[in-house]
């Protein structure tokens, strides 16, 4: 059966041809206000206690928030006690504004100011719903009656703020026409202007008008139109901060906030990771790091997102989604083979060219900027490719596999991921490498050997190398002796004499694994079996380059014979 879309009506069209926000670019951070401890807290199945709120509060300070809504002190004893603890224990820095929420009712406002005694700077946030639907269905009040709630509340706050200032507490008024997006725009402006006429903001006594999409009802561009129109028509604009408080019912709260900033808003309220009623609030962490990714200082600092995530999860008992932007466990990872290859090449290019600008495919920011390590970037499962495997072997274990070896070892890893049906950890990949190349057992075992080299007396490179030793092949013990122009050719000639098939060296690479006295040589040798033209890599490790090469030959031959 088709869904009954006819039961819904489109959001009213808003004609605003004077809009300028599409041509704007955000070049500075807004004023940030965290509402984690109030708006976020009220949305939790189990609200935070004083200890949990305190841990999260300290983290918000560490991040750099200068405005923090700490609660609704007139609504519950826990909220009241938490604010008093902050005051009594001296936990509010002088440059931080503590914000408290209250309904515009006299006894609630009085209780709120009682809780604020001793605070240096405070924002008193009053609100009432102005939406057409709630006026009609919930309150059964007309426009004048609803506006009166806002103006009477403002008068009470102004009177109590005068007394608070006399006692050393500086008060800023914030007013929200709740459900702004469900309110006729001209009426929301009328109510806000009436509030400001009472408050009389000036240079020393500014006000905040918060315009919440309490329920996100339209596309973000319409919200931006509303913000720009409101900003251009509000009274006392020079002394008024236009604040955004977007919810995420349509899943576009972040976009609405970013467009609202382009439209002239000065301030953003939101929460870490977007916690809040229903689908949540604007995620401040994401908006801030979005600015950061565009070269704008967000004035909030997320040097260690793992610590922030841990505090948040412990305080709220809510998990952070593994695909959460910038912070989720999987966001700085790549499973896709083509993505892994591009990241690997991008990181190598950056290391070689040492550019100031971050440009790495699939990584919009440097993971290390938020405390992540590169080891988590490449993750291996059945969708992964050879490039990702090579990246892990080099970045984690120092094996710089030659490019021609990538398909061979990548195929070994692919087969294992298909068999297990799981992601392989980096330790699993190293074990596969060791089992298939370094510790491989087969029909050939080299017991001992020595190399004698006779240098040419005429200055040419025609040196003669003799290799002597002992080997076990197919269970039989043999003496080895062979000659060549180098240790590898001499060894292969010696093996031919005891019945080992003939092989050609088709690829040879080497590098040092560590610097200094403990440095080891790693060699990668590819042999071609002359009988069937199949090619196999072998790997050898030793402090001595000749020994590493000989081990790589044995590794490759055993891999060939084991097939």
**Across residues 160-174, what is the average pLDDT?**
96
**Long-range Cβ contacts of 313-318 (<8 Å, 24+ apart):** 314/52, 314/55, 315/48, 315/52, 315/53, 315/55, 315/56, 316/40, 316/44, 316/48, 316/52, 316/56, 316/275, 317/44, 317/45, 317/46, 318/44, 318/273, 318/275
Q: Are 128 and 103 in contact (CB under 8 A)?
A: yes
What integer pLDDT is reported at residue 276 of this predicted model? 94
- HSE-up of residue 350 (Cα within 13 Å, Cβ side): 14
Is pLDDT of 515 > 80?
A: no
Domain ranges of the chain: 28-316, 337-438, 444-562
**Across residues 299-311, what is the average pLDDT?**
96
pTM across the whole model: 0.80
What's the rounded Cα separation, in Å, for the pair 349 and 370?
22
E strands, 35-145, where?
67-71, 97-103, 121-129
What is residue 292's DSSP assignment? H
What integer pLDDT is reported at residue 146 of this predicted model? 95
What integer pLDDT is reported at residue 40 of this predicted model? 93
Cβ neighbors of 444 (< 8 A, separation 6 or more) are 471, 472, 473, 495, 500, 554, 557, 558, 561
What's the rounded Cα separation, in Å, for the pair 142 and 148?
10
Q: Which of 160-164, 251-255, 327-331, 452-456 has the lowest mean pLDDT?
A: 452-456
A 10 A CB-CB count for 534 gives 11
Is pLDDT of 517 > 70?
A: no
Q: Which helix (H) or strand (E) holds 491?
A: helix 487-497
Tell which CATH classification among 3.40.50.1100, 3.30.160.270, 3.20.20.70, 3.40.50.10420 matches the domain 444-562.
Answer: 3.30.160.270
Is pLDDT of 76 > 90?
A: no
What's the rounded Cα separation, in Å, for the pair 228 and 264?
6
What integer pLDDT is reported at residue 459 of this predicted model? 53
What is residue 376's DSSP assignment? G
What integer pLDDT is reported at residue 67 of this predicted model? 98
Is pLDDT of 463 > 80?
A: no
Residue % of the chain over a pLDDT of 70:
97
Is pLDDT of 540 > 60?
A: yes
pLDDT digits (tens, 9 = 90+) for 363-374: 999 999 999 876
Write the DSSP assignment of 127-165 as a string of letters.
EEE--HHHIIIII---HHHHHHHHHHHHHHHHHHHHHHH
What's the rounded Cα separation, in Å, for the pair 58 and 70?
11
Q: Which of 1-15, 130-144, 452-466 has the lowest mean pLDDT?
A: 452-466
What's the rounded Cα separation, in Å, for the pair 366 and 347?
10
**Across residues 388-401, what is the average pLDDT?**
88
- Under the banding of pLDDT at 50, 70 and 90, the label for residue 519 is confident
Greater confidence (358 vs 389) lies with 358
Residue % of the chain over a pLDDT of 90:
79
Is pLDDT of 456 > 60?
A: no
What's the rounded Cα separation, in Å, for the pair 501 and 486?
19
Is pLDDT of 343 > 60?
A: yes
Residue where the block lists tokens 């197919």: 474
Q: Are 488 and 509 in contact (CB under 8 A)?
A: no
What integer pLDDT is reported at residue 373 of this predicted model? 72
Is pLDDT of 2 > 60?
A: yes
* 28-316 carries CATH number 3.20.20.70: yes
What integer pLDDT is reported at residue 461 of this predicted model? 57
What integer pLDDT is reported at residue 516 of this predicted model? 55
What integer pLDDT is reported at residue 492 of this predicted model? 95
Q: For CA atoms 494, 500, 505, 511, give the dihedral sign.
A: negative
What integer pLDDT is reported at residue 375 of this predicted model? 57
A 10 A CB-CB count for 350 gives 15
Strand-by-strand arrangement of the 521-529 sheet:
503-512, 521-529, 535-542
Greater confidence (419 vs 375) lies with 419
446: left (phi over 0), alpha (psi -120 to 50) or beta: beta
**Most confident option among 235-249, 413-427, 451-465:** 235-249
Q: Which of 107-111, 413-417, 509-513, 516-520 has the lowest mean pLDDT?
A: 516-520
Closest CA to 390 of 426, 416, 349, 418: 426
Is pLDDT of 460 > 60?
A: no
């Amino acid at each position: 059966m088709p869904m009954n879309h006819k039961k819904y009506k489109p959001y009213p069209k808003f004609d605003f041809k004077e809009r300028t926000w599409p041509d704007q670019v955000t070049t500075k951070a807004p004023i940030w206000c965290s509402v984690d401890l109030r708006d976020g807290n009220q949305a939790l199945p189990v609200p935070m206690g004083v200890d949990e709120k305190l841990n999260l509060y300290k983290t918000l300070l560490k991040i750099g928030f200068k405005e923090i809504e700490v609660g609704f002190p007139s609504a519950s004893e826990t909220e009241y006690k938490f604010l008093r603890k902050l005051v009594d224990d001296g936990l509010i820095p002088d440059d931080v504004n503590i914000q408290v929420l209250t309904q515009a009712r006299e006894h609630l406002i009085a209780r709120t100011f009682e809780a604020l005694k001793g605070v240096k700077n405070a924002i008193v946030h009053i609100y009432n719903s102005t939406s057409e639907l709630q006026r009609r269905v919930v309150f059964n009040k007309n426009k004048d009656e609803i506006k009166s709630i806002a103006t009477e509340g403002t008068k009470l706050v102004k009177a109590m703020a005068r007394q608070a200032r006399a006692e050393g507490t500086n008060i800023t008024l914030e007013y929200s026409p709740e459900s702004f997006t469900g309110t006729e725009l001209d009426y929301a402006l009328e109510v806000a202007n009436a509030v400001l006429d009472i408050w009389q903001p000036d240079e020393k006594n500014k006000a905040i008008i918060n315009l919440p999409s309490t329920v996100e009802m339209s596309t973000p561009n319409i919200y931006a139109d509303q913000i720009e129109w409101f900003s251009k028509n509000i009274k006392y604009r020079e002394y008024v901060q236009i604040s955004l408080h977007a919810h995420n019912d349509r899943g576009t709260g972040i976009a609405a906030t970013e467009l609202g900033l382009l439209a002239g808003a000065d301030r953003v309220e939101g929460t870490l990771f977007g916690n809040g009623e229903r689908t949540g609030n604007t995620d401040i962490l994401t908006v801030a790091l979005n600015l950061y990714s565009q070269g704008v200082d967000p004035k909030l600092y997320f040097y260690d997102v793992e610590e922030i995530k841990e505090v948040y999860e412990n305080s709220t008992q809510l998990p952070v989604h593994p695909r959460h932007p910038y912070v989720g466990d999987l966001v700085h990872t790549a499973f896709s083979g083509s993505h892994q290859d591009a990241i690997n090449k991008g990181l190598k290019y950056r290391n070689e060219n040492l550019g100031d600008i971050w440009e790495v495919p699939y990584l919009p920011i440097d993971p290390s900027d938020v405390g992540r390590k590169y080891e988590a970037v490449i993750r291996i499962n059945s969708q992964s490719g050879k490039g990702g495997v090579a990246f892990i072997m080099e970045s984690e274990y120092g094996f710089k596999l030659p490019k021609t070896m990538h398909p061979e070892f990548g195929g070994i890893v692919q087969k294992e991921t298909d068999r297990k049906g799981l992601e392989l950890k980096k330790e699993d990949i190293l074990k596969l490498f060791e089992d298939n190349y370094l510790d491989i057992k087969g029909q050939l075992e080299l017991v001992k050997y020595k190399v004698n080299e006779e240098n040419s007396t005429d200055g040419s490179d025609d040196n003669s190398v003799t290799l002597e030793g002992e080997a076990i092949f197919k269970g039989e013990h043999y003496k080895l002796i062979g000659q060549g122009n180098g240790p590898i050719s001499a060894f292969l000639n010696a093996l031919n004499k005891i019945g080992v098939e003939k092989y050609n060296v088709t690829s040879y690479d080497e590098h040092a694994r560590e610097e200094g006295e403990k440095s080891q040589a790693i060699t990668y040798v590819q042999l071609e079996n002359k009988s069937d033209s199949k090619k196999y890599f072998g790997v050898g490790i030793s402090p001595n380059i000749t020994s590493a090469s000989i081990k790589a030959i044995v590794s490759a031959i055993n891999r060939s014979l084991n097939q």
